[in-house]
């Protein structure tokens, strides 16, 4: 279980102006094996929340714990998937997928076997020796996903992972992610600015307020899993989306820029 209590974080601004508060006393609990989507207006601090969970930054105040242990730095329990993929351009697909294992000093043979299994799982069999620049954006993010899963984390942290992909590719990756999640249930914290994506993927949706972010509302999606093929036409799906849109618009208007979603 992930517990975030009264968590605050601000970033120092340039030219000696006062620090910009990004999170202000945020509280959130995420259960094991739950798929949580974090939704909020642009620039509200979604990514900061994820970086805190990843242990890449520490909170100014408040506490974050995983199974009761405070987060003091990057934890082997977490696997990260990045918005900009963050692949090593000089390494091929297999070496990229194996990166987390390499860092953890897993022996080469085991590393290769495990990386190969994940390459197969994300549908990249046959592309092991390709380099990132030889792959489309969607395939690159499959590599990013495989790399995160290769270390077998209990928690998968995803920072707008499909944000830069075209809509078809995005749908394909969403479906693959749902399939992988169904096969091997992990806790997933998925940051997105897409309402459609949040409802499609999540068990719960955490709606954040404009900066400084607090939890504005938590929505139970309540759609069945595995998600049916005709999800897009289900009244519940459409209704939840409409509702979230309205809430999000209000949040964005309350923020600094009026329509910056």
Binding site for another protein (CB under 8 A): 54-56, 74-76, 78, 80, 82, 84, 86, 88, 90-92, 95, 99-100, 102-104, 123-125, 127, 129-131, 133-139, 151, 168-169, 172-173, 175-176
Nearer to another protein by Cβ, of 8 and 75: the residue is 75
Nearer to another protein by Cβ, of 226 and 257: the residue is 226
Nearer to another protein by Cβ, of 43 and 100: the residue is 100
CA 142 to chain centre: 14
CB of 123 to another protein, least distance (A): 4
CB of 252 to another protein, least distance (A): 27
CB of 26 to another protein, least distance (A): 21
Nearer to another protein by Cβ, of 95 and 219: the residue is 95
Nearer to another protein by Cβ, of 4 and 106: the residue is 106
Q: DSSP for 24-73? A: EEEEEEE-TT-EEEEE-STTSSHHHHHHHHTTSS--SEEEEEETTEEP-S
Alpha-carbon separation of residue 194 from 80, 155, 161, 208 (angstroms)? 19, 21, 11, 13
Q: Report d(CA 71, CA 63) in Å as an integer.
A: 8
CB of 146 to another protein, least distance (A): 13
Nearer to another protein by Cβ, of 67 and 220: the residue is 67
What SS3 state is found at 80? strand
Other beta carbons less than 10 A from residue 130's beta carbon? 16
Nearer to another protein by Cβ, of 115 and 207: the residue is 115
First to last CA, the chain: 30
Closest CA to 145 of 106, 172, 109: 172
**In the sheet where 204-208 sits, what is the strand order?**
78-81, 155-159, 187-192, 35-39, 204-208, 215-220
CB of 172 to another protein, least distance (A): 4
Nearer to another protein by Cβ, of 177 and 221: the residue is 177
CB of 51 to another protein, least distance (A): 8
CB of 77 to another protein, least distance (A): 10
Determine which helix (DSSP H) or strand (DSSP E) holds 116, and give its type and residue range: helix 108-121
Q: Report d(CA 140, CA 159) in Å as an integer.
A: 15
Q: Report d(CA 158, CA 189) in Å as an integer.
A: 6
CB of 247 to another protein, least distance (A): 31
């Amino acid at each position: 279980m992930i517990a975030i209590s009264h968590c605050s974080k601000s970033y120092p601004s340039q030219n000696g102006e006062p620090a910009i508060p990004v999170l202000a006393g945020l509280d959130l609990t995420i259960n094991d094996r739950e798929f949580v989507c974090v939704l909020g207006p642009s620039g509200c601090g979604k990514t900061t929340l994820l970086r805190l969970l990843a242990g890449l930054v520490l909170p100014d105040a408040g506490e974050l714990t995983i199974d009761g242990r405070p987060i003091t730095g990057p934890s082997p329990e977490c696997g990260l998937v990045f918005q900009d993929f963050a692949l090593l351009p000089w390494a091929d697909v297999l070496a990229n997928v194996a990166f987390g294992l390499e860092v953890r000093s897993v022996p080469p043979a085991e590393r290769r076997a495990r990386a190969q299994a994940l390459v197969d799982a994300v549908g990249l069999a046959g592309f092991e020796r390709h380099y990132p620049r030889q792959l489309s954006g969607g395939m690159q993010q499959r590599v990013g996903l495989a790399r995160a899963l290769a270390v077998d984390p209990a928690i998968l942290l995803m920072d707008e992972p499909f944000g830069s992909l075209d809509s078809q590719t995005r749908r394909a990756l969403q479906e693959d992610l749902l399939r992988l999640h169904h096969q091997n249930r992990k806790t997933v914290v998925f940051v997105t600015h897409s309402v459609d994506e949040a409802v499609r993927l999540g068990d719960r949706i955490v709606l954040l307020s404009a900066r400084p972010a607090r939890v504005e509302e938590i929505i139970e999606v309540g759609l069945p899993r595995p998600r049916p093929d005709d999800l897009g036409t289900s009244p519940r799906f459409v209704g939840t989306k409409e509702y979230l849109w309205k809430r999000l618009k209000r949040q964005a208007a309350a923020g600094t820029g009026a329509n910056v979603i």
